[in-house]
Structure formats: structure tokens, C-alpha cells
Amino acid sequence: MSQRYLIIASRFNDLISKALLGGATEVFSEAGIAASQLDTLWVPGCFELATVAAQAARSNTYTAIVCLGAVIRGDTPHFDYVCAQTAAGLQQVAVATGTPVIFGVLTTDTIEQALSRSGIKGGNKGKDAAHAALSMAKTMQQLKELTKR
């Protein structure tokens, strides 16, 4: 089976998400993943990432799924709810389906921190998420081979 990857990105804080997406697609390209093997979907916000990731994982189409976005702390507890539920939802999808779902969501206190982690002013966590997806794809293939023995 040919490897195929999905990137799901949040439109909320899209300046950050677009930068993360650029980093992730760069890594996939450098790894030899053709454009035809890489799909991208956009969702309204980070909270919606798990719903789309679950449907995609259950389709058995993707080797790994990378979820990208940014949640920046505000003046209300909304940040805490969105971050916790997004992380838990994505982990639940991965565990339930066996498809690697990578948490590439920045959870920062300030916009400056998000800019620094998205490649706009520093390192790009989107690249890290793509590397994690490639690594997990390899690990899952090794596990499959081990369990066939």
C-alpha cells in the first residue's frame, strides 16, 4: 500500500496555521512524499480537528494524520477547554483507530509565542509534526511486520 498523509488545519488563527502547514508540506516533500500522496483539509477551529481526524482515520486511507493550529490564551477559560479537549480528542482517535494522529497544535500564552513556534519568527512546529508523522508511519510498519511473525 502506498503511503498517503492528511493534514488538517484550523482556520482560526490562520496566519499561524498557514505557516505550520508550509513547514509540514516542506518536510513531506523533502521526504519524497508526492503531492498526490498528501491531502489537506481546513476546519473552522482546533476543536473540530478531532471530528475530521476520526472520519479520516476510520476510512483507512491515510498512513498518518497531522493536525495543525494554534490556540492562544485569552482572558477567559475558553483556552483551557479548547486545548484539553482538542488534545484528548486527537489522542482518542489515534488510540481507537490505530492511525497515528499527530498533535501539531500550538497552545501558547501570547501571539508572540505562536509566531516564534510557527516559523514566522523562529522554528516551525509544523515541520516537527510532519517528522513525527513520518516516524510513526515507519514505526507502525515495523510493528505490522513484527506482528506477522
Q: Going by C-beta distance under 8 Å and a sequence separation of 6 or more, which residues neighbour residue 128? A: 104
Instruction: Specify the number of domains making up the chain.
Output: 1
Given this model, what pLDDT does residue 57 score? 98
Question: Which of 58, 78, 121, 138 is flagged as catalytic?
Answer: 78
| Residue given cell 498518518 in the structure block | 64
Which has more confidence, 41 or 122? 41
Asked whether residue 31 carries a pLDDT value surpassing 80, the answer given is yes
Per-residue pLDDT reduced to its tens digit, 47-104: 999 999 999 999 999 999 999 999 999 888 899 999 999 999 999 999 999 999 999 9
Nearest of 11, 145, 10 to residue 90 by alpha carbon = 10
In terms of residue numbers, what domain contains 24? Answer: 5-147
Write out pLDDT tens, residues 32-45. Answer: 999 999 999 999 99
Q: Give the list of residues 6+ apart from residue 112 with CB closer than 8 angstroms, or none.
A: 121
Residue 78 appears among annotated catalytic residues = yes
Query: Looking at residue 38, which CATH number applies to its domain?
Result: 3.40.50.960
Q: Give yes or no for residue 1 having a pLDDT over 60.
A: no
The mean-pLDDT minimum among 13-17, 76-80, 108-112, 137-141 falls in 76-80
Q: Read off φ and ψ for residue 12, nearest 5 degrees.
A: -70, 135
Q: CA 116 to CA 81: how far, in whole Å?
A: 23
pLDDT band at 2 (very low <50, low <70, confident <90, very high): confident
Confidence band for 121, pLDDT divided at 50, 70 and 90: confident
Q: What is the pLDDT of residue 122?
A: 82
